[in-house]
Amino acid sequence: MRFLGHPVHAALVAFPIALLAVAPLWDLGAQFHLLADAQVAGYFCLLAGLVGGGLAAVTGFADFLKLPDPRSAAAKAALTHAGVALTTVSIDGVAFALRGGRAVQPGTLPLVLELVGAAALGATGWLGGHLVFHHGIGVTRD
């Protein structure tokens, strides 16, 4: 999926990567009383990251449907990337559901889930980079 010649998925993933990675940092700041009301920033980072992750998933799926050979190594790598990405968003979605609201300091379980989600996010990004740099997915060759 492209807009003005640029891949949309690649542009959209930057937001959920940044937001879902920083959300547990805000919540840790709130947990250890380092920043007043940091849990509010964590809440909105998680919310926006989940919305952005949903948009990135839609555009990634559109790109997946355009792969020429569904049995290729690139398609298998894309399915792995998609599976890890959807798992990551699901983990963060559960953490968000367990938070209890924007003004509530998250408990231990949501915070642990956010940290696990952030780690899984790193794997998701690495797999996405593998698709681009190893398989050339989303790259227009002149």
**At residue 10, does pLDDT exceed 90?**
no
The torsion angles phi and psi of 27, rounded to 5 degrees, stand at -70, -35
> pLDDT by residue (tens digit) across 56-105?
999 999 999 989 898 999 999 999 999 999 999 999 999 999 998 877 88
Band of pLDDT at residue 7, cut at 50, 70 and 90: confident
The per-residue pLDDT for 4 is 78
Using 50, 70 and 90 to split pLDDT, how confident is the model at 137?
A: confident
Tokens representing 74 are: 């690139």
Q: Tell me the C-alpha distance between 61 and 56, whole Å.
A: 8
Residues 6+ apart with CB under 8 A from 108: none
Find, among 95, 84, 94, the residue nearest to 24 by Cα. Answer: 95
Share of the chain above pLDDT 90, in %: 77
- Domain definitions of the chain by residue range: 2-133
pLDDT classification of 141: cutoffs 50, 70, 90: low
